[in-house]
Amino acid sequence: MSKRIFSKEEIETLLQNENVINCSERSITYSKDFKIQAIGRYHEGLPPSEIFRQAGLDVNTIGRKSPKDCLRRWLKIFREKGQTGIEADGRGQNNKGGRPRGMAGMTDKEKLKRLEAEVAYLKEENRFLARLRKKS
């Protein structure tokens, strides 16, 4: 995540751009149409910063590295999942992004099996550590 923090004025300016869906102090959410168009223009040979400038986004405001980083991420998703991957880019809620939620969504049998495996692992780890203590 960028160390850049947007001011209220910068956020208001960014939100006026049709290619920006949402903007907070630390992040910008671009429209899916813009992402797809940006990938197409990149394949035509335009550099990332020029693509963002043509879309009405100030590179000095969003950060000089941001266009390149965004396009790199979008291209990776596009290569792996195609256009449908860009439309649901895997970030945010319920898109399999972020930290796994532990055992949420597991059946009771799956939870039991996982917990039994964890207990077995911890018992073996304790035996190992006990042997280490005896040697020293």
Q: List, for residues 97-110, the tens digit of each pLDDT value.
A: 566 667 777 889 98
* Residue that has been written with the tokens 């396009």 in this structure: 71
Residue 23 main-chain phi, psi, to 5 deg: -150, 135
State the chain's mean pLDDT as an integer. 87
Q: List, for residues 20-70, the tens digit of each pLDDT value.
A: 999 999 999 999 999 999 999 999 999 999 999 999 999 999 999 999 999
Cβ neighbours for 91, distance < 8 A, ≥ 6 positions apart:
97, 98
* Alpha helix segments (H runs only) across the chain: 8-15, 32-43, 48-54, 59-62, 66-81, 83-87, 108-135
Contact criterion met (CB below 8 Å) for 17 and 57: yes
Q: Which two tokens stand for residue 57?
A: 């986004």
C-alpha closest to that of 39 among 81, 91, 98:
81
pTM of the model: 0.64
Banded model confidence at residue 96, pLDDT cuts 50, 70, 90: low
